[in-house]
Structure 1
Amino acid sequence: MPEIRSASAPPVLRPNLPLGVVVAMSCLALFMVVLDSTIVTVALPDMKTGLDLSTDAQQWVVSGYLITLGGFLPLAARAGDLYGHKRVFLFGAVVFTVASLIGGLASDGTVLIAARIAQGTGAAALAPTSLSLITASHTDEHERERALSLWSVMGGIAGLIGVVLGGVLTAELSWRWVLFVNIPPGIALFVTGVLFLLPSRSTERIKLDLPGALCVTSGIGALTYGLSEASAEGWGAPSVVIPLLAAALLTAAFLVAESRSPHPLIPFDLVRPRTLRIANLLMFCLGVTLTALFFFLSLYCQQVLGYSALRTGMAMLPITVVFIIGGITARHLTLVVGPRIMLVVGGLLAAAGVACLVTITSHAAYVTHILLPNMVGGFGVSIMLLAVTISGTTGVEPKNAGAASGLLNTSRQIGGAVGLAVLVNIASNVTSHASKDSGHPDALVEGYRVAFLVIAGLMLVAALAALALPAGKPAKEKTHEELDEQAATTRS
């Protein structure tokens, strides 16, 4: 998370323009980033039909975006500080918009996945700079608090609208419009950025750790690809072994690059404290749960229960509303009981809710088998997000604040990508053993049940791991404004 700038910080907005312009631009940018992490989920079955996508390819439509978003977030945040927020912001808007157009026009799965990967790169540039524009332009404490609150809430609204809008666009137009919908706001961001933002550039002569970013992003991509291929080809296949070996080599190269870089993406002294390591483990688990839950629920509703895309989106609406309510509740409770209790209670609720999904059948009742379990599990996850962010950023030196927040975001996105690849592999294997017809509803349900059981177990592990965090409440001087700033790292 970028540091709050002082009143002497260089202006980012042209003179005589209201600060509301920056707030509107930043909120719209975050809205696009978060929207595209959920809007494609409901459209996956239609994408499969239209482009003849395999289950692994459907997974990559989600994972490709998450990998590049998570892998390049720290690099983009640093680039904004060094080369100017305007430059990075405009770069993100252009890449995101062009990639959305290409993805919407895709004639095969390869082009679609490549476009989603490019979208993730643009999103990685937009997310941190949208926050930095607010913190750099709002020098008044109360104005900054209101702007950060609005920015943070916008992330929750985007997640809510994503699943519903994805269903509406897919049902009424086509799946291509879940990508085309980004083009008008992307153009608006670029035009307003050119007209209203002032150029800025740091006087520091620091080189970006591009080798480190490329190694970690490529390594996670190779790992995810190898895991996704294992279900179809077997663990001994070259298409599995080679990517997994490449992932190991790229990880080693990343560690070497970080140890030699004078300004690494992830300073080694940052991850030494046990609290930070546990917090990032918890955020990884939350990333797995948030991504995989919507993925499998969408496929289950459409491929097993026969829901339309629109009905699937509406079915998930109450769940996403619970996420927003939980986030608002957590903002107040965390000040009272402290992060550890919130994480333990939230983890147990999430585990219980997801465990109830193991009872699903090919003729499940919506209220008892889908709605209620997901409302319990969703509330548990939502109250954990702020608490884990506080645990992962409290006590960090100011010079490493941005790196700590970036690491949490990276853990969440990569957890979603890698965890989804593993769970798709597990579900596919269970399905193939349950029936020779891998598309049979009962066989699909068996795979989804096991996937939900693994997710429930993961959240139980997270609750137990949270017990190792120090007890106590946040520092007395912690304000709602500071909580809003920390909550901001969970929105992208």
Structure 2
Amino acid sequence: MKIAATTRNPGGALAALAGAQFTVMLATSIVNVALPQIRDGVGLSDGGTTWVVNAYGLAFGALLLAGGRIADLLGRRRVLLGGLAVFGAASLAAGLSASSTVLIAARAAQGLGAAAIAPAALALVMDLFPPGPGRGRALGVWGAVSGAGGAAGVLLGGVLTQAWGWRWIFFAVALGALLVLAGTALGVPRTPVTGSGRFDLPGTAAVTLALTALVWGLTGARRSGWTDTAVLGAFAVTAVLGAAFLLIERRHPDPLLPPHLFRTGRVTVGNALMALLGSVWIALFFFLPLYQQQVLGSSPLVTGLGQLPLAGANMLGSALAPRISRRIGATATVTGALLTEAAGLLWLSRISAHGSYLADVLGPAVLIGLGLSVAFFQLTALSVEGVGRQDAGLAGGLVNTTRQVGGAIGLAVLATLAGTATTRAGAHQPHLEALTAGYRTAFAISAAVLAATAALALFLVRRTETVPSGAGASPAAQPATGGRH
């Protein structure tokens, strides 16, 4: 049964599903500009302020695999609606919070809802659009809203914080979740439950706790250093739980990550490259607004408006990505996109303490937006290529997990290196010069990571082959994109 054949308005359904992904990505970055106001509003310390960001990312990243598997077993539309309800209620609670404890707990609940939304929505996109150009265009829209959500979060956060105060960033997210919930209920069709078997509770618990310990350790490393006892303890727990997860998966009759999920090779390659892209992506939306505010002296509103060119380039790149992929193939597409983004970050590594938005940020932002959008489209397509319909939710959870975990690792490492560079420069340079030196270091290393990722993609994507028709794949398991590979 092809669900697309029973859907009278696939465009409206895609709009609702893309809106769900946009809202999830919006919540990731919308708080960044407003952190000083949030800190003063609920009485947080400087260390506690980071948990306004980390509580969301921790719950989101740790629970994505579980959310994807539950969507396959219980029904994707049902899980998506439930996730949107939790997400919206948590957003409202965050806006109404009068204490730091309630605010951080609400952010964690937001992450829980997002972990159900993201994989279920991506799986529904795969259901609605069978393999071919239609799916390619749908994934292009998916890439556009995913990348634009990060930039739009900075923009909307700046506008709302300056106009009405920090609470409105959460009220706006709650309103968005409500609208998407209504659109999903009205426009997204019910789909048959395609997953089978038992839920792998031991494996899910092991990998969720392992990811939690990993992200916790990385968060602590940014604050206390890599040799802190608590940080090392968290990494040790991660290693033990990771080993336990592998043992559980080998023995469980219905493992959380079944071996056939990686049969084509494209899923493994796509996720590995997505983790590297994520390590740079999330850090970009952390460091760039800081440079604009702390060094260039931009207000939250001006900082937010400064993200518009990046968001526009992102949407343009996502619209062109399916055509580019069909014309030149997956290998050339992902390699060229990663190199384009690397060029933009290398340009950013030349920022000046006495520069300006037009001279230092605008040009690199356009290049980054174009490269990021095309790379995200192609890596998402690779990460779900060859996956049967019964595992689509899990595949969506996996690719979101690798991006989030890669982002957590990348941000922790880059923040540490940037802080070290700032400290060293501060010994003999003014404060703004020292801050800029740190940001330059972060952008230069990010450019080097993406250049290395492009070289890796050139080798790995070309070596993997698409599952041929009739080789045991289901109809949903055919390539997400056409063209030469």
Give the Å deviation of 1:248: 1.6
Q: Is the Cα–Cα contact under 8 Å of residues 348 and 440 in structure 2 kept in the other structure?
A: yes
Matched letter for residue 168 of structure 1: V
Matched letter for residue 165 of structure 2: S
Q: Which residue of 2 aligns with 1:366?
A: 357
Q: Is the Cα–Cα contact under 8 Å of residues 334 and 473 in structure 1 kept in the other structure?
A: no
Q: Structure 1 residues 375, 52: closer, same or farther in 2, change over 3 A?
A: farther
Counterpart CA distance in 2 for 1:462 and 1:333 is 19
Alignment of 1:323-402 (within 5 A): 323-396=314-387, 400-402=391-393
Is the aligned partner of 1:229 residue 2:235?
no
Aligned residues: 475
Gaps of at least 5 residues in structure 2 are: 470-475
Counterpart CA distance in 2 for 1:282 and 1:232 is 27
Q: Which moved more, 1:218-227 or 1:325-334?
A: 218-227
Q: Which residue of 2 aligns with 1:428?
A: 419
Task: Tell me the secondary structure at the aligned position of residue 41 of structure 1.
Answer: coil
Q: Is the Cα–Cα contact under 8 Å of residues 82 and 204 in structure 1 kept in the other structure?
A: yes
Q: Is the Cα–Cα contact under 8 Å of residues 74 and 406 in structure 1 kept in the other structure?
A: yes
Q: Is the Cα–Cα contact under 8 Å of residues 101 and 179 in structure 1 kept in the other structure?
A: yes
Q: Is the Cα–Cα contact under 8 Å of residues 386 and 486 in structure 1 kept in the other structure?
A: no
Q: Which moved more, 1:273-282 or 1:442-451?
A: 273-282
Matched letter for residue 454 of structure 1: I
Q: Structure 1 residues 109, 242: closer, same or farther in 2, change over 3 A?
A: farther
Is the aligned partner of 1:277 residue 2:277?
no
Query: CA deviation digits over 1:372-418, x for unaligned, max 9?
Result: 12222332222212222333333455655544443222211211122
Q: Structure 1 residues 257, 440: closer, same or farther in 2, change over 3 A?
A: farther
Q: Is the Cα–Cα contact under 8 Å of residues 215 and 251 in structure 1 kept in the other structure?
A: yes
Is the aligned partner of 1:90 residue 2:81?
yes
- Partner of residue 108 from structure 2, selected from 113, 117, 121: 117
Counterpart CA distance in 2 for 1:199 and 1:470 is 35
Query: CA deviation digits over 1:28-82, x for unaligned, max 9?
Result: 4233222212322322343344456566655543343334334333332332332
Q: Is the Cα–Cα contact under 8 Å of residues 67 and 217 in structure 1 kept in the other structure?
A: no
- Partner of residue 251 from structure 1, selected from 221, 242, 245: 242
Q: Which residue of 2 aligns with 1:74?
A: 65
Q: Is the Cα–Cα contact under 8 Å of residues 138 and 144 in structure 1 kept in the other structure?
A: yes
TM-score (norm: length of structure 2): 0.83
TM-score (norm: length of structure 1): 0.82
Is the aligned partner of 1:176 residue 2:164?
no
Q: Structure 1 residues 389, 279: closer, same or farther in 2, change over 3 A?
A: same
Q: Structure 1 residues 61, 424: closer, same or farther in 2, change over 3 A?
A: farther
Task: Tell me the secondary structure at the aligned position of residue 262 of structure 1.
Answer: coil
- Partner of residue 408 from structure 2, selected from 413, 417, 424: 417
Q: Is the Cα–Cα contact under 8 Å of residues 338 and 474 in structure 1 kept in the other structure?
A: no
Q: Structure 1 residues 59, 293: closer, same or farther in 2, change over 3 A?
A: farther
Alignment of 1:4-15 (within 5 A): 5=3
Task: Tell me the secondary structure at the aligned position of residue 352 of structure 2.
Answer: coil
Give the Å deviation of 1:239: 2.2
Counterpart CA distance in 1 for 2:150 and 2:28 is 8
Q: Is the Cα–Cα contact under 8 Å of residues 275 and 391 in structure 1 kept in the other structure?
A: yes
Query: CA deviation digits over 1:120-158, x for unaligned, max 9?
Result: 21012223333555666789x999998777666554554
Q: Is the Cα–Cα contact under 8 Å of residues 350 and 378 in structure 1 kept in the other structure?
A: yes
Q: Which residue of 2 aligns with 1:209?
A: 200
Counterpart CA distance in 1 for 2:192 and 2:118 is 19
Counterpart CA distance in 2 for 1:263 and 1:281 is 24
Is the aligned partner of 1:442 residue 2:433?
yes
Counterpart CA distance in 2 for 1:185 and 1:474 is 40
Q: Is the Cα–Cα contact under 8 Å of residues 216 and 250 in structure 1 kept in the other structure?
A: yes
Q: Is the Cα–Cα contact under 8 Å of residues 270 and 400 in structure 1 kept in the other structure?
A: yes
Q: Which residue of 1 aligns with 2:210?
A: 219
Q: Is the Cα–Cα contact under 8 Å of residues 140 and 319 in structure 2 kept in the other structure?
A: no
Gaps of at least 5 residues in structure 1 are: 488-492
Q: Which residue of 2 aligns with 1:36?
A: 27
Q: Structure 1 residues 326, 72: closer, same or farther in 2, change over 3 A?
A: same
Percentage of identical aligned residues: 38
Counterpart CA distance in 2 for 1:358 and 1:187 is 40
Q: Which moved more, 1:141-150 or 1:230-239?
A: 141-150
Counterpart CA distance in 2 for 1:415 and 1:63 is 14
- Partner of residue 469 from structure 1, selected from 460, 464, 467: 460
